[in-house]
Amino acid sequence: MSLNTQVKIILVETTSPGNIGSALRAMKTMNFSKLCLVNPKHFPSDEVTALAANATDLIEKVEVVKTIDEALEDQQLVIATSSRERKVPWPNEALNIASPKIIDAATKKNKVAIMFGREDRGLTNDELQRCNLHVHIPANKDYPVLNLAMSVQVVCYQLFMDMHLQTIKENSGTWDVPTASSNHVNRLIEHFIDIAEQVEVFNKGNPRQIGARIKRLFTRIGLDEMEVNFMRGFLSAIDKNLNKK
């Protein structure tokens, strides 16, 4: 599943066409392509094209609507970007906390909309109350201000990275050979240290705790059974040649 097919970025009443172009560029960098503009002041525009740089192919895909209702027509999870406190508290989470929830919803084939407000005043209370969750980007408490396109970039980046990490975790169970057991790795370590002593490149009395570092090396890299067997065979061949002398 690609976030690109399930997540739509919505910009509400954007004033600067440069921000639209820059947002498209930010989105393409993070593999997002679905942008919806609600009543933009200037679109299309030469400035959009200029600031989009190599993301101009996304301009023709931009959805333009007049109302929030149109933008949210078929969306199942709606996220608002907002950092302000409200008279009526609303679920508001830091982006890094909310990101896995957004990915989970998208993975389950839900359509997700992420709304960004106007450059000067953000989203209205009515617009915010259309959303399931409010998300904020942690920043300097004395100056928590981000340009609109920068905010789009940060949100898309967080989602892209979290999706990438999730994919790695999902694929980690598809390794072609089982992970080596702890005891198997430990026997390899003992064998390695024995050979290292024989060729006089290792001394158990070394004050730099080389033995512990060798153990850390082999336990850290996550060897599989075939890799351990290869290394044991390699060390056995060295051992055999050493004992011929």
Query: For the chain, which residues make up each domain, given as ranges?
Result: 3-173, 182-244
Question: How many residues are present in the chain?
Answer: 245
Percentage of the chain surpassing pLDDT 70? 91
Q: What fold is seen in the domain 3-173? A: Alpha/beta knot (3.40.1280)
* Amino acid 175: pLDDT: 67
Residues 6+ apart with CB under 8 A from 123: 12, 80, 81, 82, 115, 116, 117
Query: Would the pLDDT of 2 be above 90?
Result: no
When pLDDT is averaged across residues 232-245 and rounded to a whole number, the result is: 86
When pLDDT is averaged across residues 61-65 and rounded to a whole number, the result is: 96
For residues 204 and 164, the model is more confident at 164
Q: How far apart (Å, rounded) are the C-alpha atoms in residues 137 and 82?
A: 8
pLDDT digits (tens, 9 = 90+) for 10-59: 999 999 999 999 999 999 999 999 999 999 999 999 999 999 999 999 99
pLDDT band at 91 (very low <50, low <70, confident <90, very high): confident
pTM, rounded to two decimals? 0.72
* Amino acid 241: pLDDT: 87
Q: How far apart (Å, rounded) are the C-alpha atoms in residues 38 and 140?
A: 29
pLDDT band at 170 (very low <50, low <70, confident <90, very high): low
Q: How far apart (Å, rounded) are the C-alpha atoms in residues 48 and 61?
A: 13
Share the mean pLDDT of the chain: 88
What CATH code is assigned to 182-244?
A: 1.10.8.590
